[in-house]
Amino acid sequence: MATFNVSFLNPALKSKGGSGVGVLADQLQILENTLAKDGYLSPGDYDILITKAREIQMGNSLSSDQRSNYDVKISQYERSKEVAKIDQASDIERMNKAMKSESSEDVMVVGNRPLEFINGRIASIQAKLNDLAEVIEHKTASGDDTTDYYNEYNATLQALRDKIEAKEAMSSFDQNNPIQGFVAYVTTNKNGEIVDVDYGRYGEKSGYAETNGMVDGFQVYGKINYKEDGKNYFKLGDKTFTAADMLIQDPNNPGAFKPSKLMADVQDPSGRGLFTRAKAGYVNMPGESLSVQSYLPNNSWAKGVNGTIYKRDESGKYVKYLNANESDLGIEGPVLNMPEAFEQSLMRNVTETIDYSAPVAPDQGMNMTPATDLGMSMAPELQGQAAPAEPIKMNYGLENPFQPSTKKQTYRTPKQPSQQVSKGAMPTAKRTIMSGIESVRRLFT
């Protein structure tokens, strides 16, 4: 816990500014003690203290010496805030928890779309690498042991290489045979919805059974849903994969055993409308055809923290409604109140934004058109009254916001705060780390 006293304030404060100045200093100390009740002042706590100190400094009749004393206090808060950032960012366990949380969000939002999922993981890993690099620099400058951080950095760098290579490997998919070297590790519920997924290097995870299914070219290794009548069952989408509940030798690991390969029923090639066991080949399932278990089921509604309403459509994507309420949208069923974190995570999966506060839209030349072209009807039966126009539909982030969105973007910012330290603090270590990052970028971008 970081604590401060106000003894640095000039004793002349009371004589120059009266007892009111002492009361204000007490208020600042009380606020600090309140924020530190949990034994720790976070970077956000210091922001509150800095704001309060500046408010006192600027909002009262203080002498120049008194203002200078508050400058010193604010400077102390700012320095302590940066130290707290480094302490927070240097916690490897916290970094990994943040990575796991981001991965869970990616599963719920884009788990059925490998390319977007991989892009999200790449962004998270790069953010972690940046944090680790700055922590190593800071600790080296302080003379602290950095062994664990270097080990974590190297492991994280390898994870980045794997994801970049998995992304590049997608271009080799021939629509018939699985992508070589990389697979989809999939866990589903009883409805065949994806509960957890990762698109990674073959053999890096255990506890999954091989199937003859593919998701956009990634061969599926699934967690067995249940066992019945001597068989293992795994369901993904509308496909059920089964095999005898027995272990066979793993040809890639001498002396090791694995579950029998799970096979899906496929259409009989004779065209007689029958189904038969797939004896060879693979069943590719486009990711867009699969559902992901989410907070929000398909064809249901949710409301964000500021009242923004979202609808998840049949495809699993979202429509965002601004300045609208349930009656405007004709919603009769329940509306889920979303946590802020989930609302932020689904934003990159919003395909359409409809603003109910803007009943008219400019034409493509961005000039206003006559009222008759904006849905304003002067038909005799309306007796001169204008018919209401449709709300504007917008796709933000595009060169032309009134064209359908075809652009996919993935954003990820570091969860952990970081700080730059003296440039001369650790020249050798920093050059080594940064050259490693640049090497990866040159190799895989």
**Domain boundaries in the chain?**
12-89, 92-172+415-444, 182-289, 296-356+391-414, 363-387
Rounded to whole angstroms, what are the CA distances from 69 to 11, 30, 64, 191, 204?
11, 18, 9, 65, 58
In angstroms, rounded to a whole number, what is the distance separating the alpha carbons of residues 312 and 52?
Answer: 42
Q: In this model, does residue 17 exceed pLDDT 80?
A: no
In the structure, what pLDDT confidence band is assigned to residue 101 with cuts at 50, 70 and 90?
confident
CB 411 within 8 A of CB 123: yes
Cα 362 to Cα 366: distance, rounded to the nearest angstrom: 5
- For residue range 364-398, list pLDDT tens digits in order: 444 444 444 434 444 444 444 444 455 655 554 44
Q: What pLDDT was estimated at residue 232?
A: 95
Location of structure tokens 């395909």: 351
Q: Where are the alpha helices (DSSP H) in 292-426?
A: 326-329, 340-346
Exposure string over 190-229, b if 16+ CB within 10 A, otherwise e: eebbbbbbbbbbbeeeeebbbbbbbbbbbbbbbebbeeee
pLDDT at 333: 82
Q: Which SS3 state, helix, strand or coil, does residue 272 take?
A: coil
Q: pLDDT band at residue 173, thresholds of 50, 70 and 90?
A: very high
Name the token pair of 427: 């020249």
Read off the amino acid at residue 395. Answer: N
pLDDT confidence tier of residue 408, bands split at 50, 70 and 90:
very low
Closest CA to 105 of 406, 319, 408, 412: 412
User: Which residue in 396, 387, 304, 306 sits closest to 350, CA to CA?
Assistant: 396
pLDDT given at position 347: 76
CA distance 150 to 140: 11
CA distance 70 to 9: 8
Query: Alpha-carbon Rg of the chain, whole angstroms?
Result: 29
Instruction: Report how far residue 342's alpha carbon sits from residue 350's, in angstroms, rounded to the nearest whole number.
Output: 13
pLDDT for the residue numbered 266: 62
Show the tokens assigned to 356: 């109910």
Question: Is the per-residue pLDDT at 360 higher than 90?
Answer: no
Helices (H), ranges, 111-231: 114-141, 147-169
Quick one: what percent of the chain has pLDDT higher than 70? 69
- Give 158's pLDDT tier (boundaries 50, 70, 90): very high
Q: What is the mean pLDDT of residues 299-312?
A: 89
Alpha helix (H) residue ranges in 90-146: 92-110, 114-141
Mean of pLDDT values over 131-152: 87
